[in-house]
């Protein structure tokens, strides 16, 4: 169970105990499967079935089982059931006076997402009072207070969080948390402060450069490329290494791609060609290159250059598919390339369907299928497959943005 659920082990054990108590004759496998359905709800979970489970678990927890109360609260928060979750959270707090920090964050974030601003402000403030190291909770309390109409109080809390970030490590932690909560402008300001104040050899300086580079990739690709280049300086040390081996080619490729975007924006098309060549030398099948640069080149009246770039990548994928015709990833990426560049759309739909046939219930492949259908003008089919992708990965914000785009944007 520790291998399966890692940081959620306490929740998993609570459900294991509950199901063993309710059905002691079940096999170990059956009990594990019942618990797994609670921790990892299937895309089309029967809401009535979960309601029955929650009601039964509540009755058992009322007999004095704080671990089950916490597990029930987490299961309900995962499903957006704030009514039952609120009762469970209150029971946990009544038993222990202070919520466990993980549950406190989940509850506060759920209230924030539901725009229950006064309650969210109270919960974030309580989180900070329990642990003054979590400055993001203090900042978010201020943000929620402002939304609740208490502007002066909110500004005071946010300013205090800003001033209490006395070292670069705490400021970087504050910035990253603000990013995860969608406060991007505020996070960028904090990351810029980290770069001004942290010693350049410290890890948080390099990580701040990487995060800021990611945030500026769309609005200022030249600066983003420089920041990503700086973030690699630590790799010159003998005792430093990138976490994933493929980052040694992917990160330099991203730097050259961003510089190519900046070159196109400035009208230096010869420099753009050089940077594109360096990108594709590192990652010959990088769909991001075409996705980013084909529209930019067309906008800059460089259609032949855009066509050549698309055809080069399209040919590279086709050659690999001839070697590996049953590779779902290659089918998916070729479909994504064509759809995002608005070219060969019928072929894109065919490859997207083939990827989904080879690997059903893959959220990324469903998103590609939805993209191809949207580009072909079939909004209903795009929305249907996009909703399925969100069901499979309900925490993926990029998939939610895609669904909103398919629902609201004009058809291409």
Report the pLDDT value the prediction gives residue 240, as an integer from 0 to 100: 79
Single residue among 54, 76, 97 that ends a domain in this structure: 97
Euclidean distance between CA atoms 313 and 77, whole angstroms: 43
Report residue 312: phi and psi, to 5°: -65, -45
**Full DSSP string of 214-231:** HHHTTT-HHHHHHHHHHH
Task: Indicate whether 332 and 290 sit together in one domain.
Answer: no
* Residue 158: inside a domain: no
Of the chain, the percentage scoring pLDDT greater than 70 comes to 100
Q: Is the pLDDT of residue 391 over 90?
A: no
Instruction: Quick: pLDDT tens for 231-282.
Output: 888 778 887 788 888 888 989 999 999 999 999 999 999 999 999 999 999 9
Range of the domain at 301: 242-323
Does residue 302 fall inside a structural domain?
yes
**Residues 50-83: tens digit of each pLDDT:** 999 999 999 998 887 888 999 999 999 988 889 9
Q: What's the whole-number mean pLDDT along residues 189-210?
A: 89
Question: Within this chain, do residues 4 and 91 fall inside the same structural domain, yes or no?
Answer: yes
> Where residue 45 falls among pLDDT bands split at 50, 70, 90?
confident
| Domain-located, residue 216 | no
One domain, residues 305 and 332: no
Report if residue 277 sits inside a domain.
yes
- Pick from 301, 323, 345: which residue ends a domain? 323
Alpha carbon distance 378, 79 (integer Å):
30
Do both 41 and 80 map to the same domain? yes
């Amino acid at each position: 169970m520790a291998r399966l659920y890692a940081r959620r082990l306490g929740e998993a054990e609570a459900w294991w105990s509950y199901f063993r108590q309710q059905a002691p004759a079940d096999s170990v496998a059956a009990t594990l499967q019942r618990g797994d359905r609670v921790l990892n709800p299937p895309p089309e979970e029967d809401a009535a079935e979960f309601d029955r489970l929650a009601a039964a678990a509540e009755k058992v927890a009322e007999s004095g089982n704080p671990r089950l109360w916490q597990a029930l609260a987490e299961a309900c928060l995962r499903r957006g059931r704030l009514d039952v979750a609120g009762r469970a959270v209150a029971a946990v707090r009544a038993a222990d006076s202070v919520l466990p920090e993980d549950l406190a964050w989940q509850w506060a974030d759920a209230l924030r997402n539901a725009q229950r601003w006064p309650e969210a402000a109270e919960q974030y403030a309580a989180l900070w009072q329990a642990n003054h190291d979590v400055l993001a909770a203090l900042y978010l309390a201020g943000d929620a207070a402002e939304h609740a109409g208490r502007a002066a109080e909110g500004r005071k809390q946010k300013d205090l969080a800003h001033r209490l970030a006395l070292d670069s490590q705490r400021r970087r932690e504050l910035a990253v948390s603000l990013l995860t909560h969608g406060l991007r402008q505020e996070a960028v300001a904090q990351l810029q402060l980290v770069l001004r104040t942290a010693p350049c050899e410290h890890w948080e300086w390099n990580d701040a450069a990487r995060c800021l580079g990611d945030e500026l990739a769309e609005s200022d690709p030249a600066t983003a490329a420089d920041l990503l280049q700086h973030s690699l300086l630590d790799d010159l040390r003998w005792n430093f290494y990138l976490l994933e081996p493929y980052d040694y080619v992917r990160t330099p490729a991203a730097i050259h791609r961003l510089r190519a975007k900046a070159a196109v924006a400035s009208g230096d098309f010869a420099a753009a060609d050089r940077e594109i060549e360096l990108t594709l030398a590192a990652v010959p099948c990088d769909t991001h290159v075409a996705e980013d640069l084909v529209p930019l080149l067309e906008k800059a009246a460089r259609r032949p250059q855009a066509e050549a770039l698309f055809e080069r990548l399209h040919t590279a994928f086709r050659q690999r598919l001839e070697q590996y015709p049953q590779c779902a990833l290659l089918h998916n990426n070729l479909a994504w390339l064509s759809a995002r560049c608005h070219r060969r759309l019928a072929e894109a739909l065919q490859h997207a369907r083939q990827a989904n046939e080879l690997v059903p219930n893959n959220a990324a492949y469903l998103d590609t299928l939805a993209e191809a259908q949207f580009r072909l003008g079939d909004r209903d089919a795009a929305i249907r497959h996009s909703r399925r992708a969100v069901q499979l990965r309900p925490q993926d914000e990029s998939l939610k943005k895609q669904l909103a785009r398919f629902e609201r944007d004009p058809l291409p």
